[in-house]
């Protein structure tokens, strides 16, 4: 089962990573000024991860596929790693859909 891991960046911002059951990071959040905002971001991932229309499939300048997960207001709530193929990107999206809804939260900032 997947889990959300909350950490604190060197600049004091909070961020979370969604990790798959194998420990691989499948989604990384933006930086948040408060832990409460990061927790709201996690809830937004859980809510929006099931809607395929919320995944913005992109390609980086060097041709590597990746995706952003967007909230209903269009704001980015998480970004994937860079993938070697569009098929791998689709597998990453499926992994977020599978892992996010029931993922526990591991707060490593306390």
Residues in the chain, pLDDT under 50: none
Rounded to the nearest 10°, the torsion over CA 36, 40, 46, 49 is -130
CATH number of 3-107: 2.30.29.80
Instruction: Mention every residue, 6+ apart, whose C-beta is less than 8 A from residue 8.
Output: 14, 15, 109
Looking at residue 15, its pLDDT comes to 97
Q: Could you read off the pLDDT of 20-43 as tens digits, one per residue?
A: 999 999 999 999 999 999 999 999
């Amino acid at each position: 089962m997947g889990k959300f891991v909350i950490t604190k960046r060197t600049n004091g911002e909070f961020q979370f990573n969604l990790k798959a059951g194998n420990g691989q990071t499948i989604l990384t959040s933006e930086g948040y000024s408060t832990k409460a905002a990061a927790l709201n971001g996690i809830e937004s991932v859980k809510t929006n991860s099931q809607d395929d229309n919320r995944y913005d499939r992109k390609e980086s300048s060097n041709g590597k596929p990746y995706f952003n997960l967007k909230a209903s207001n269009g704001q980015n709530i998480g970004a994937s790693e860079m993938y070697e193929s569009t098929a791998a990107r689709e597998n990453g999206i499926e992994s977020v859909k599978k892992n996010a809804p029931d993922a526990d939260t591991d707060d490593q900032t306390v």
